[in-house]
Copies of this chain bind each other. A is one copy, B any other.
Amino acid sequence: MRIVNISIIGFGAVGQGVARCILSKQEFLKKDGIDLRVVGISDSRGSEINTGGIDVESALLRKKQKGSVAAGSKNPHEIIRDVKHDIVVEVTPTNINNGEPGLSNMRLAFKSGKHVITSNKGPLALHFNELKEAAEDNGLFFRYEATVGGAVPIFNLVHEALAGNTVLGIEGILNGTCNYILTRMSEERMPYDLVLKEAQELGIAETDPTYDVEGIDSAIKLIIIANSIFGLDSTYKDVDVTGITKITPEALELANRNNYVVKLVCEAREGKLTVAPRLVPKRHPLAVGGTLNVASILTDLAGRITISGRGAGSIETASSILSDILYIVRNS
């Protein structure tokens, strides 16, 4: 049995999703010869450390009952640096201004000889190449499947399953909130404001929806894709961004009559990064509805390969993190 020790830094929806996944997959992983243990968990109020393996079920219960996992007061940096383990699962919230606290956590992890797996878009949108090089220089893995597309394994698909192909371009619908709003506007012929309100009531849109509807979230995901797949060094200022707030039911109706749908499409092609509403033929693989995410990879050999699935959700995001954990275990 191979013991794999991880820490979970950040214990919000994604961190708890990872913990629940690990709990539910313990027997499954043991059959594969892997004893996956969580040796450190931290949230904004404190932490728990157990070098023999934390009782994850109790930690989840404590979080639920007391709002924090805190059993001790060590901070994330002390866990990352001082506790002996293999992989830091960095799942603190995305901060697009300076990437913190995720950025410092990742830098320290690489310095301390730990692999990093993350769902945190901030550090990658701001300092992708620095982090990638820090991992390489230290002979460590840096995996971030969960940053883009939730459960949809875009990076694995391109780097592993389509290995040998040259990627010519990527198109994607990477924000479930926008996709939901546009789908409902089109199918129910309702105006933007009304559908946004409905989405907010359903918890699909935030109270302040700016980050989603203005295309900012999509742009950040596109940056990570472009840097990872095309080896660019782009940041937010390199993306030409238009949101969905100006789209009228009339425009959607006109599109519909001509067998098109309107989607907020992210595109990376020939070094140019764009997020904008675009007409997509109804029969096109990109034309998926509801809150789904989709990515379409244009390659020289395989042609266009399109993959879709749930772009959000704590278990869905944890699924990508678990596949990254297994990738590291199989390749190290």
Contacts and interface: CB of A to CB of B under 8 A. Distances in A.
A320 B290 CA distance: 31
Contacts of A195: none
Nearest to A22: B164
Dominant SS among interface residues on chain A: mixed
Given A157-B157, A285-B288, A289-B283, A162 B319 contact: yes
A3 to B, nearest CB: 17
26 contacts: A21-B164, A28-B164, A29-B164, A151-B301, A151-B303, A151-B305, A152-B302, A156-B160, A160-B323, A161-B161, A163-B327, A283-B288, A283-B290, A285-B308, A299-B319, A301-B319, A301-B322, A302-B310, A302-B316, A303-B310, A303-B313, A303-B316, A305-B307, A305-B309, A306-B307, A307-B308
Interface of A: 21, 25, 28-29, 151-153, 156-157, 160-166, 282-283, 285, 288-290, 292, 299, 301-310, 313, 315-316, 318-320, 322-323, 325-327, 330
A201 B306 CA distance: 28
A306 B286 CA distance: 11
A292 B327 CA distance: 30
A312 to B, nearest CB: 11
A304 B309 contact: yes
Contacts of A289: 283
Given A21-B164, A162-B319, 10 more contacts: A28-B164, A151-B302, A151-B303, A160-B323, A161-B161, A163-B322, A163-B327, A164-B319, A164-B326, A283-B289
A288 B287 CA distance: 10
Given A153-B157, A157-B153, A157-B161, A303 B309 contact: yes
Nearest to A289: B283
B292 A315 contact: no
A164 B313 CA distance: 17
A222 B318 CA distance: 29
B327 A315 contact: no
Contacts of A309: 302-306
